[in-house]
Structure 1
Amino acid sequence: MQNLCTSILSPYQELDKQGFYQQSSHISYQDYILYQETGDRAQYEKKYFAQRRRLTGLALLLLYSREKKDYEKSLENVIWDICNEYTWALPAHLPSGGTQTDFEHDKLLDLFNCETALALLEIKRLFHNTLPIFLQQRIENEVNRRVLHVYLDQSRPSWKWESLPNNWNAVCSSSIGLISLYSIEDPDLLKKTLNRILTNLNIYLNSFMPDGISLEGYYYWSYGYYFFVAFAEELKKNPIFKLDLLSKEICLKIAKFQEYCFIGDQVTLSFSDSLPNEHYRIGLTYYLKNRYPQLSMPPKDMAFLEEDPYGRWLMAYRDFKWYKEYKDNINVASSNLKGNGLISQKQQWVIYPITKDNTGLGFAAKGGNNDEPHNHNDIGSFIINDNNRQLICDIGQGKYSKKYFGTGQYDIFCKSSLGHNVPIIEGKQQSSGPNIKSLWLEDDITESSISLKMDLSKAYELIPGKSITRYFNFDYNKSVLTLKDVYLNCHNYTERFITPFQPIQNEKVVTIPTSGGNLLLEVLSPELSNIQIHVHSEEHVSHNDSKEIYWVIDYEKKTAEKEDPFLIQFHWEK
């Protein structure tokens, strides 16, 4: 593999050629109140994150580019602009969208207030010989005023994220932990503060299943765990603590989660708010591989080699730093992710990636409940993929807005069960909530197949006497998935499957054509004449605000038997 530092730096150099780093983003009052008035996050956040992108890009160019140009002055200007911002927290995270009059908006400790403070402080430390002393003092003052002193203020109640088992806890706690290690000189105060941070992070670690699986999915695993590992690395160096958090057995299992998420060379598991073609962070991956040699490396073509769209300094900087530090210790060619099947009974996930010869199909399915972090109503849903894309897909993450996390969120196609590979029963989709869950009945994995059985009745709040039981059998040697749903006392149902490819329908078989082959859907139910097949398209607005088309294949049975089995087979034709 070529030296990736050149590839990582390239998009920042391209933005420099376009004059991006000489610009500035003025955030107006109208930008600020737009979220409260309309629920739109994009307009404000585009400008907000553009400033973080400039901060990160200029600092990286100064560190790693041979041409220094006038980066120093541009960096000083963007630091000054960020220090002048009304608040570093997002309006979407502030009470009443940032318009509540009896609240100190600049002192809300959310993800991006903490991230911004840490970024400025680390950049100050890296450039302490060249940044003007006055500007360095300004950074210290703003970081203390907006974040550190706020966190240390004993008169304030603890923050909600301190007890959350998710990425908020990891990012905020780790950022403040790093700021504390850099800033607090009093050993007793530092010890007290870090003990509080460690209590928070234990809650974060306990959010993972015993096998390391993250309820939040791969996207937020990468985000939260990167910050946690960065804090753990710095904490280990501290002469007071000398504590190695990564020696915990669960940390190795959490690190291994990334392996299971690559279900093909260019395909990732997209349950929850993840994406079907996620890229891995080079710094985190090389660091973990060096720390845990038994880990496998993801496919080299899926390394993240773009400018960070949110200007996340901690991740972008360590992509350079840790890659440079550990690249000579790691033999990428010897790593192979393929063939690592997994059944997680507690999480109710089954994962089986593409085989080592890159042929055939991969498969993943989930049960669980509909009250998970970044929840989608997707109990019983599944994915079928080849080596490059999902064929029967989980759309994953959509465009974030007030509605996406609030009232009406399950009217959004990608979050509702209507946008997943699960049935509609008597016109009803799945509900949400902690008691909306599947019952895991059986599972088995052999040298040739994975099978499982789950009861989905509670996902639809079916009344006593009505039920649905879903069976999967995936033969990975033959690349055939057989799915059977058995309905009891349900008057009618529609089986639904989602694909990014326009299907071709004939009387008995639906074909999903791709450049690499065809996925054939063949109904094996004896009463096929009573089943009507409908195909239509749905528009999805992605996380980056682009419009995408997905295709819905419905198998509708208007009058079901007292005990009605629906049997369908998915098989791959090269």
Structure 2
Amino acid sequence: MKKVHFKPAYYTHLLLTAKIIVITGLLTLKISASIAQTGPFPLKPIDEKRVREIEKMLSDKPSGFGKPYHERKVWDNLLKSGNYDRFLRGMKDYSFPAFSKDDYFSLSNGSASSSNAGLTMMRKRAEGLAKVTWAECLQNEGKYTRMVEDGLRDIINQKSWVSPRSDHDFKNYNGLAYSVELTSSLYAHTIAQTLYMMGNKISPKLRKEAIDALYTRIFNPIHHKFKTQNNDKENHFLTADNNWNHVCLAGLVGAALTVIEDKHERAVFTYIGEYYSRNGLAGFNDDGYCVEGVTYYNYGFGHYILLREGIWQATGGNIDLFNDPKVQKIARYAPNIEVINGVYPAISDCREGATPDEAMMIYLNRSLGLGIARYDTLTNESGTSDNRKSVMMAFPNSSSKSMPKKNMQKEGANIRSLFEQTGVLVCRPLPGASANIGVALKGGNNNESHNHNDIGSYTIVQGNQIMAGDPGVIPYASNIFDPKYRYTYKTVGSYGHPVPLVAGSQQRPGKLAEAKTVRTDFTKEKDNITLDIASAYNVPGLKKLERTMDYDRSDVGSITFTDSFAYANPQEFETVISTRSKWKQISDNTLLLTRANEKMLVTFSSAGNKLLLKSEEISEGGTPYTRIGISVSKPVSEGQIVITYRPQN
């Protein structure tokens, strides 16, 4: 039997070209990768003038988030707060997670269809080091010191710090090269925080070994990158314009500021964070929209906050990465993308039910004066699964020192959010109205990071339930970021989304597939928008494809979608309802959707054309949902299909 080797693939910011070659009985999938998304700030030599300016702002000694264990007043106050009692009870029988070689190589030996096992194992070990560090610093009884040291030593000697799916040719595992990526940057910052928080509880010998490991695996590869000005794919995060940029920079710079004694060298890494983090900001649209969805907003922009706070504290507030007008718009992405009642659309690789990280939003609200009442209350409650953000939020930081805005924004006062550049519209009912439905409609293009080929897709919320719309992400399979296979998944391609199937064709990927706004009409009572989505379909003879949405705030409210199409010759046409609601057909042209305690009627029609209904359950490893196809009964040259959603009285 032939043995299959899969070399792990990068995330969506890489273009992958796969070639299967049979050599001496071995079937090997060779992947060549290049950076698909590059920010406007390319790799360049270190600006020594700026570094010297930064050096003057830094203190003589490195410092991390929070305080070392021996500053007992602050740690004892945290212990006495009671917020960590449950955590400490759970730590009594805690065992440090072991490294699993089988999990690390599960993709390459064909024992797993998903990279989750290896990635989860790697990150659980970083979490373990953070948890035992928290436990010892809180109690200060020496009970966990041995476990901290053993865990730290074990991680230092671990063959790889990177995610298995990022370890091309297993160069990291075999010590041939070292990469700063999502997981290794997490390890670096976690190790640095452990050394800082534990202070002299860590033996001098182990401390030196840990710092040497940080240089070998993290700091030196970046020094080498700038020395050689090597612009290949290694450590490409510097010029990436997606979540990798901020995640990797936060870990790299955070670790450097926490453990590097040499002030000039710390200034070099601070400069790297200050300059190259602008690439990550460039990945957000100018209207503040995050194309990667709420989940990756928490992850990517959440790490930008870590980077900002670390540099702000290290420079005494002299460098503030929030001093960019675009940051204010990005900070408002979360409240603006909310549909109603704390429900958010699962756009791109975002799971249904995802919400903005509360601690992150409190930080943004206070730091930037957003004036959102529900995110104004400071809390010392903090998680313990990491010793970076959790420590930063548990101790005084720049946001906790900020005064709240006096004029708070009223909940539900904003009946509409339009991300004008992106073409995403969110419509909400009037405050105090009987209507309790909202909708998010997505325009954009099909070249966005973590994109799902979903121009024209929508999410409909009634009460606090998503009744129909974008199904969200499925578990990451081993090949899900390979363009050759990505859109073969129904949930990632347009097939699983509430968008048309045109002459049997799904939407195509790429920037040429771009929604264009034809017209808008926004009033207090109604919102109307028409998108031209024809460019998303590579269908010869397609003359017209427009999607119009009418949102009516009167009475209990209603949402109507009209798909208008025209072909040069008669063709098939189908539109789709995607839903996790229970559903049944109650008349020829009416469906009843039920989810939790919400019920919604869906009517559909097409003047002059008979419509056919067919349904299909789709899972692909995620939470199942139903795709209900509504199609014209025979090929036609032109027509319309109208679907209206209305709460059942």
TM-score w.r.t. the length of structure 2 is 0.78
**Equivalent residue letter for 1:410:** Y
Which residue number corresponds to residue 107 of structure 2?
35
CA drift of 1:469 comes to 0.9
Offset at residue 513 of structure 1 (A): 1.3
The equivalent residue for 2:394 is: 320
* Counterpart residue number, 1:432: 509
Counterpart CA distance in 2 for 1:193 and 1:525 is 61
Q: Work out which of the residue numbers 487, 493, 512 in structure 2 matches 1:410.
A: 487
> SS where residue 414 of structure 1 aligns?
coil
Using the alignment, how far apart are the partners of 2:554 and 2:80 within structure 1? 39
SS state at 1:181 partner: helix
Match of 1:545? none
**1:382–1:230 Cα change, 3 Å:** same
Change (3 A) 1:148 1:241: farther
Task: Indicate conservation of the 8 Å contact 2:613/2:631, yes or no.
Answer: yes
Given candidates 475, 488, 497, the residue that maps to 2:566 is: 488
Determine if contact 2:341/2:464 at 8 Å carries over to the other structure. yes
Q: Pairwise mapping of residues 115-194 of structure 1 onto structure 2 (< 5 A)? A: 115-153=186-224, 154-155=227-228, 157-158=230-231, 159-194=235-270
Q: CA separation in 2, counterparts of 1:327 and 1:194? A: 23
Tell me, yes or no, if structure 1 residue 533 matches structure 2 residue 606. Answer: no
Match of 2:135 in 1: 61
Query: For the Cα contact (< 8 Å) 1:286–1:327, is it kept in 2?
Result: no
Q: Distance in 1 between the 2:551 and 2:141 partners? A: 56
Choose 112-121 or 219-228, whichever is displaced more: 219-228
In terms of mean alpha carbon deviation, does 483-492 or 130-139 score higher? 130-139
Matched, 1:78 2:156: no
* 8 Å contact from structure 1 (residues 259, 298) kept in 2: no
- Bigger shift: residues 259-268 or 417-426: 259-268
Query: What SS does structure 2 have at the residue aligned with 1:88?
Result: coil
Single out whichever of 194-203 and 233-242 deviates more from structure 2. 233-242
Shift of 1:99: 6.2
Which SS does the other structure have where 2:582 is aligned? coil
Write the mapping of 1:261-410 to structure 2, written as runs, cut at 5 A: 261-296=337-372, 311-321=385-395, 326=400, 336-340=410-414, 341-353=416-428, 356-357=431-432, 360-406=436-482, 407-410=484-487
Higher alpha-carbon deviation: 193-202 or 550-559: 193-202
- Please give the alpha-carbon distance, in whole angstroms, between the structure 2 residues aligned to 1:184 and 1:463: 61
**Equivalent-residue separation in structure 1 for 2:238 and 2:254 (angstroms):** 16
Distance in 2 (alpha carbons) for counterparts of 1:279 and 1:7:
26
Contact 1:522 1:568 (C-alpha < 8 Å) held by counterparts: yes
1:450 correspondence with 2:503 = no
Count of matched residue positions in the alignment of Structure 1 and Structure 2: 557
Quote the Cα distance in structure 2 between the aligned partners of 1:152 and 1:275: 37
- What is the DSSP-based 3-state SS (H/G/I as helix, E as strand, rest coil) of the residue aligned with 2:513? strand
Give percent identity, aligned residues only: 18
The equivalent residue for 1:552 is 627
Asked if the contact 1:381–1:422 (Cα under 8 Å) also holds between the matched residues in 2, the reply is yes
- Residue type at the aligned position of 2:152: I
The counterpart of 1:471, out of the listed 545, 548, 562, is 548
- 1:128 and 1:136 in contact (8 A); partners too: no
**CA distance, structure 1, for counterparts of residue 89 and residue 401 of structure 2:** 25
CA 1:10–1:219: 2 relative to 1, 3 Å: farther
Q: Distance in 2 between matches of 1:201 and 1:408?
A: 31
Q: Which residue in the other structure is 1:212 paired with?
A: 288
The Cα offsets for residues 209-251 of structure 1, whole Å up to 9 and x where unpaired, read as: 2221111111111111122122222222344982122122111
Residue number among 629, 640, 643 corresponding to 1:565 in the alignment:
640
Contact 1:398/1:540 (<8 A) preserved: yes
1:270 is displaced (CA, Å) by 1.3
Q: CA deviation at 1:50?
A: 2.1
The residue matched to 1:263 in structure 2 has which SS? coil
Evaluate the alpha carbon distance shift between residue 356 and residue 77 of structure 1 in structure 2; reply closer, same or farther with a 3 A threshold: farther
When structure 1 is superposed on structure 2, of 402-411 and 182-191 the one drifting more is 182-191
Question: In 1, Cα distance between the equivalents of 2:583 and 2:275?
Answer: 51
User: Partners in 2 of 1:234 and 1:41 — Cα distance?
Assistant: 31
- TM-score scaled to structure 1, two decimals? 0.88
Distance in structure 2 (CA, Å) of the matches to 1:402 and 1:409: 10
Change (3 A) 1:385 1:348: same
Kept after mapping to 1: 8 A contact 2:309/2:398? no
CA distance, structure 1, for counterparts of residue 165 and residue 183 of structure 2: 11
Q: Alpha-carbon deviation of 1:318?
A: 3.2
- 1:108 has 2:179 as partner: yes
The answer to whether residue 518 in structure 2 is matched with residue 441 in structure 1 is yes
Letter in 2 for 1:424: L
Q: Does 1:504 align with 2:581?
A: no
CA 1:532–1:188 in structure 2 vs 1: closer, same or farther (change >3 Å)?
same
User: How big is the shift at 1:455?
Assistant: 1.2
How far the C-alpha of 1:540 sits from its partner, in A, is: 3.9
Q: Please, which of 582, 594, 602 is the counterpart of residue 521 of structure 1?
A: 602
SS of match in other structure, 1:247: coil
Q: Is the contact made by 2:366 and 2:399 (CA closer than 8 Å) also made in structure 1?
A: no
CA shift digits 1:158-180 (9 cap, x unpaired): 43221111110011122222233
What displacement does 1:89 show? 0.5
Cα deviations across residues 489-514 of structure 1 (Å, max 9, x unaligned)? 15111111111112111312011013
State how far apart, in whole Å, the 1-side matches of 2:505 and 2:293 are: 26
2:311 corresponds to: 235
Is the 8 Å Cα contact of residues 118 and 179 (structure 1) preserved in structure 2? Answer: yes
1:472 alignment partner, SS class: strand
Confirm whether residue 51 of structure 1 aligns to residue 132 of structure 2: no
Residue identity opposite 2:642 in structure 1: L
Query: 2:289 is aligned with what amino acid?
Result: I
Amino acid at match of 2:183: F
More deviation in 352-361 or 219-228?
A: 352-361
CA distance in 2, matches of 1:487, 1:371: 24
Task: Name whichever structure is richer in helix by fraction.
Answer: 1
Residue 288 to residue 100, structure 1, CA distance change in 2 (3 Å): closer
Measure, in 1, the Cα distance between the counterparts of 2:599 and 2:425: 24
Specify the structure having the higher radius of gyration (Cα).
2
Are 2:167 and 1:94 equivalent residues in the alignment?
A: yes
> SS where residue 498 of structure 2 aligns?
coil
The answer on whether the counterparts of 1:252 and 1:292 sit within 8 Å (CA) in structure 2 is yes
* Aligned-residue CA RMSD (Å): 3.2
- Which segments of 5 or more consecutive residues in structure 2 lack a partner in the other structure? 1-77
The residue identity in structure 2 corresponding to 1:513 is T
Which whole-Å CA distance do the structure 1 matches of 2:430 and 2:401 have between them?
27
CA drift at 1:184: 4.3
Distance in 1 between the 2:330 and 2:388 partners?
20
Q: Secondary structure at the match of 2:454?
A: coil
CA spacing shift, 1:102–1:81, aligned 2, 3 Å? closer
Following TM superposition, by how much is the alpha carbon of 1:549 offset from its aligned partner in structure 2, in angstroms? 1.7
Q: In 2, Cα distance between the equivalents of 1:517 and 1:482?
A: 19
Q: CA deviation at 1:6?
A: 7.2
Distance 1:241 1:287 in 2: 16
Contact 1:284 1:318 (8 Å CA) reproduced: no
Distance change (3 Å), C-alpha of 1:53 and 1:272:
same
* CA positional deviation for 1:365: 0.8
